[in-house]
Structure 1
Amino acid sequence: MSPVPRGPLDGVLVADFSRVLAGPYATMLLADLGADVVKVESPAGDDTRQWVPPTRDEVGTYYLAINRNKRSIALDLKDAEDLEVAHALSERADVFIHNFKPGGLDRFALGYDDVAGRNPASVYCSISGFGATGGAALPGYDLLVQGMSGLMSLTGSPDGPPYRAGISVFDVMTGLNSVIGILAALRHRDATGEGQHVETNLLSTALSSLVNQSSAYVAGGVVPHRMGNAHLSLFPYEPLATGDGELIVVAGNDGQFRRLVDALGVPELADDERFDRVGRRNDHREELRPLLLKALAQRSAQEWFDVLTEAGVPCGPINDVRGGVELAERLGLEPVVLAGDVPTLRNPIRMSASPTRYDLPPPALDEHGHEVRAWLGLPST
């Protein structure tokens, strides 16, 4: 499928039966690293093709965000000839990935046992919302998991309603965990010749990703609550008002706090016994906050950004998405890359010897159907 060697995963064939976000994001990352990804879609196509607005050339930008470097084939698994293609692809694939409900592919002989029977060395990755046991019947939407995991209880103002994150954060993180699991399983296969079943789910990803917040409960018996933009264990670690707008100010340790108050012109605060240690600043944050705000009110956010950055204090403005992309451009990170003629975001991994690739634009539905069938030795429809 890939005549020119490229990328550390060159030669790895991925049969991608996933759709929407977690699975397609995972397979795009694998494709960026050189894997040949065959995106198997229903005749109606991946749902995100139609998740609009916004669009580019009448295709949802959601779809464009997570489907570069792939070939598309449309298969109706209820059709005998199309199912034969799916089985043939599963026999050849190094990696088989899907996010159907647990057991949803069994009736097509595409569940783990069937695929492993045809292809014992394959790495089979199942992505679900809540696992394959007690949560098998629950639909795996990111918003549901944000609510049910506890994340929404932590997001928003203390006296306001809970909020979802601005992105489908656990879909993305589950995609990342899936890639980690797949790469580990491929390494295991290299050593033993054995394939295996990799399972990820959104809820387990969510609880792991809540890190200090979930640990506060399981290790400390404390149920965290919404604190707006404040941090449970650090202060200051939040946006603070300046003379003309907010600036994110961080003092992650006592040294940073001393540099902060020195730069603000109130060095005596670092020696105040209420504020001279991290824990004490947390205990007395409501006394410290107005003192910091009074000092910050003397200059604009941009002026304080320059002053504090020069002093070695972590700080930054609150940008919109355009501002975030423009910042990355100014820093030389080259965040936008073309996949064909489609602007996409650069893979965040940089590798010196085997760089990521951006060869193929997100495919049209069934764009490579004839090519994939011919490669499998099956007649084109």
Structure 2
Amino acid sequence: MNPTSPLDHLQVVECATFVAGPSCGLGLAQLGADVVRVDLPGGGSDHLRWPLAPSGASLYWANLNKGKRSVTLDYRTPRGRELLLALATRPGPGAGIFVDNLVGRHRVRHTDLTALRPDAISLHVLGFPDGRPAVDYTVNAAVGVPGMTGPSAVEPVNHVLPAWDLLTGSTAAVGLLAAVTQRDRTGEGAQIDLALSDIALSAVGALGWLSEAESAGPRPAIGNHVFGSFGTDFASADGHRVMVVALTEGQWRALCEVTSTGPVFEALEQALGVDLREESARYELRETIASILRPWFSARTLAVLEADLDRARVLWGPYRSMAEAAASARTTSELAEEVQQPGVGAMLATGSALRWSESVVAPEPAPSLGADTEHVLGERLGLTSAEIGRLVADGVVSVDATRGAA
């Protein structure tokens, strides 16, 4: 077995759109699972979602579906639904695994799967546990995070990163692998429901934010300061900004040494009767500390800061635009690599962040929409070319992408 493809024995059928479900399938595919994404002919609701390539193809879709296979069939029709269920319940020890976020009368329920395969594993992504709709941005608003983000609590500040979607996808992958392990041990399948709202609530609870709110009241928005420790941004002499953090006593000592501010902070400790080796003390005096450090940073260019801070082993990072981050990834990261993406051309893509025996798995391009329909239906369900031709003629399946390849 390829040590970088530990899941190559698994066959997963994914019928999900947007981020949570597809990111689950992406993570499994990057570990070797054969993930077949099923969309309606012409593409699902996320097929042309921004950002777009100059060709009009969705870079969003292409990057979330790297390394998968694409089947297009109309599961809203009786024959299409039959085909979807057959793919999802195909016999075999690594098959019978279904991921979806379908809603309404076309949803595939766990009982639909177990009627055909009693040990089927299903994972259904939804907004709220009771079925009400939600997306990352509405869940984030409701769980209190925007009020803690930004320079003040007067107006909430949304985040750009769909963190709850991505965390849901990662949790979904863990849940599916746990279900596969259980089935291998007991022969039993599993029905898993995973709500975005539960993910967000569980996460803020794990960080202590819920109990903090009840015991200490709402936390103020503190801008770019790190809560409970010392960390903030500084401007350089040439107009750049850097983020500097001192979580530990060693990191604080390194920051004081490189900036030659140790004597100043020792005097401050004596005057105020505090010990800045303590993380809480550094947080309480964060603005005072930042004001003392700012002149040192503002007198140096980014290049000088990089050399000095790295040499002193200070915990820091530069602020970059996304374009700058992409340029850096091209030249410094093994994780990022250019692939030839159908409908896009050359595209910078990333592989799995898991390094196996110090090896990085290169990213694979996503298929064009429906590119694998004929092969998958023939390989997995034994349909002949003539049978697939009739399904195409009836509009049940399509074998070629018809709207801007992605």
Query: Which sections of structure 1, spanning at least 5 residues, go unmatched?
Result: none
Task: Work out the CA distance in 2 between the residues paired with 1:297 and 1:40.
Answer: 54
Q: CA deviation at 1:184?
A: 1.4
- In structure 2, the partner of 1:198 is 192
Q: CA deviation at 1:160?
A: 5.5
RMSD: 2.6
Task: Work out the CA distance in 2 between the residues paired with 1:108 and 1:279.
Answer: 54
TM-score normalised according to structure 2 size: 0.83
Task: Work out the CA distance in 2 between the residues paired with 1:11 and 1:188.
Answer: 16
Structure 1 range deviating more: 36-45 or 215-224: 215-224
Q: Is the 8 A contact 1:28 1:68 kept in 2?
A: yes
User: Mapping of 1:24-43 within 5 angstroms?
Assistant: 24-43=22-41
Structure 1 range deviating more: 64-73 or 4-13: 4-13
**Residue 363 in 1 paired to residue 367 in 2?**
yes
Task: Work out the CA distance in 1 between the residues paired with 2:183 and 2:237.
Answer: 59
One-letter identity of the residue aligned with 1:154: M
Q: CA deviation at 1:354?
A: 9.1
What secondary structure, in the 3-state scheme, does the structure 2 residue paired with 1:304 have?
helix
User: For residues 320-369 of structure 1, what are the alpha-carbon distances to aligned partners after superposition, in whole Å with 9 as ceiling and x for unaligned?
Assistant: 1232233344444241252666532122112239974645x322222222
- C-alpha change, 1:258 and 1:269, in structure 2 (3 Å) is farther
Task: Work out the CA distance in 1 between the residues paired with 2:111 and 2:212.
Answer: 38
User: Mapping of 1:1-381 within 5 angstroms?
Assistant: 7-55=5-53, 57-92=55-90, 93-101=95-103, 104=104, 107-108=105-106, 110-131=108-129, 133=130, 136-137=131-132, 139-158=133-152, 161-210=155-204, 211-212=206-207, 214-215=209-210, 217=212, 220-235=215-230, 237-245=231-239, 246-271=241-266, 272-273=268-269, 274=274, 275-338=276-339, 343=347, 344-352=349-357, 356=361, 358-359=363-364, 361-375=365-379, 376-378=381-383, 379-380=387-388, 381=391
Q: CA deviation at 1:201?
A: 1.7
One-letter identity of the residue aligned with 1:51: R
User: For residues 221-241 of structure 1, what are the alpha-carbon distances to aligned partners after superposition, in whole Å with 9 as ceiling and x for unaligned?
Assistant: 442232111121011x12123
Q: Is the 8 A contact 2:335 2:353 kept in 1?
A: no
What secondary structure, in the 3-state scheme, does the structure 1 residue paired with 2:355 have?
coil
Task: Work out the CA distance in 2 between the residues paired with 1:185 and 1:354.
Answer: 27
- C-alpha change, 1:221 and 1:61, in structure 2 (3 Å) is same
Q: CA deviation at 1:214?
A: 2.1
Q: Is the 8 A contact 2:11 2:96 kept in 1?
A: yes
Q: CA deviation at 1:120?
A: 2.1
Task: Work out the CA distance in 1 between the residues paired with 2:89 and 2:143.
Answer: 37
Task: Work out the CA distance in 2 between the residues paired with 1:296 and 1:183.
Answer: 48
Q: Is the 8 A contact 1:216 1:223 kept in 2?
A: no
What secondary structure, in the 3-state scheme, does the structure 2 residue paired with 1:47 have?
coil
- C-alpha change, 1:373 and 1:331, in structure 2 (3 Å) is closer
One-letter identity of the residue aligned with 1:258: R
Task: Work out the CA distance in 2 between the residues paired with 1:353 and 1:199.
Answer: 35
Task: Work out the CA distance in 2 between the residues paired with 1:318 and 1:6.
Answer: 33
Q: Is the 8 A contact 1:91 1:119 kept in 2?
A: yes
Aligned length: 368
Q: CA deviation at 1:293?
A: 1.4
Task: Work out the CA distance in 2 between the residues paired with 1:170 and 1:304.
Answer: 34
Q: CA deviation at 1:79?
A: 1.3
User: For residues 75-114 of structure 1, what are the alpha-carbon distances to aligned partners after superposition, in whole Å with 9 as ceiling and x for unaligned?
Assistant: 222312111111211221431000124xx3xx45820122
- C-alpha change, 1:225 and 1:308, in structure 2 (3 Å) is same
One-letter identity of the residue aligned with 1:158: S
Q: Is the 8 A contact 1:12 1:36 kept in 2?
A: yes
Task: Work out the CA distance in 1 between the residues paired with 2:340 and 2:11.
Answer: 20
User: For residues 110-162 of structure 1, what are the alpha-carbon distances to aligned partners after superposition, in whole Å with 9 as ceiling and x for unaligned?
Assistant: 2012212321222211111122x3xx12x221111121121222222115532
Q: Is the 8 A contact 2:118 2:189 kept in 1?
A: yes
Q: Is the 8 A contact 1:40 1:74 kept in 2?
A: yes
Q: CA deviation at 1:42?
A: 1.5
One-letter identity of the residue aligned with 1:55: A
Q: Is the 8 A contact 2:234 2:298 kept in 1?
A: no
Q: Is the 8 A contact 2:150 2:156 kept in 1?
A: yes
What secondary structure, in the 3-state scheme, does the structure 2 residue paired with 1:59 have?
coil
- C-alpha change, 1:291 and 1:5, in structure 2 (3 Å) is closer
- C-alpha change, 1:5 and 1:225, in structure 2 (3 Å) is closer
Q: Is the 8 A contact 1:216 1:224 kept in 2?
A: no
Aligned identity (percent) is: 27
Structure 1 range deviating more: 19-28 or 210-219: 210-219
What secondary structure, in the 3-state scheme, does the structure 1 residue paired with 2:199 have?
helix
- C-alpha change, 1:282 and 1:328, in structure 2 (3 Å) is same
- C-alpha change, 1:242 and 1:358, in structure 2 (3 Å) is closer
